[in-house]
Amino acid sequence: MDYSYAIIKALFVAFSIQLTLAATHSMQYIVTAVTPGISFPEHTEVGLMDGEPFVYYDSNIRKIIPKTEWIKNNEGEDYWDRETKRNQATQETFKANIAIAMSRFNQTKGKKNIWNVYP
């Protein structure tokens, strides 16, 4: 009986330690697209980890940049190239979507924007 008690106690301690070491984080992206003529980049994307920006892209610089040391130190060039290309493609998609929405609603003039927030 003492042997099974020791095993149960060891499992409980191991499981408890694992639970206390586990961390919960949230990741979210905010994407904005606007029509030309606003003093704001036509396309921006901000990646947030636990509510703090960790990456940033806008249509003026046309590349994604790290906003924290931990992402800069833990991702290689392939990540930055891939994310830059993804953002450039998303920029073109959002630009087309704004044009389509404006034409469907007979809003060919004026300033419009699209916001997209996704986890």
Q: What is the pLDDT of residues 20-47, one digit of tens each?
A: 556 788 999 999 888 887 788 989 999 9
Domain 25-118 has CATH 3.30.500.10: yes
Q: What is the mean pLDDT of the chain?
A: 82
Which tokens go with 113?
């924007």
The predicted model gives 98-115 an average pLDDT of 76
Q: Is the pLDDT of residue 77 over 90?
A: yes
Q: Is the pLDDT of residue 59 over 80?
A: yes
pTM summary value: 0.72
Beta bridge partners of 30: 46, 117
Q: State the DSSP H helix or E strand holding residue 45, giving kind and residue range, or none if neither.
A: strand 43-49
pLDDT at residue 55 in the model: 96
pLDDT at residue 117 in the model: 66
Q: State the DSSP H helix or E strand holding residue 52, giving kind and residue range, or none if neither.
A: strand 52-58
Q: Is the pLDDT of residue 12 over 60?
A: no
Q: How far apart are CA 96 and CA 92, in angstroms?
A: 6
Task: Return the domain boundaries, the chain.
Answer: 25-118
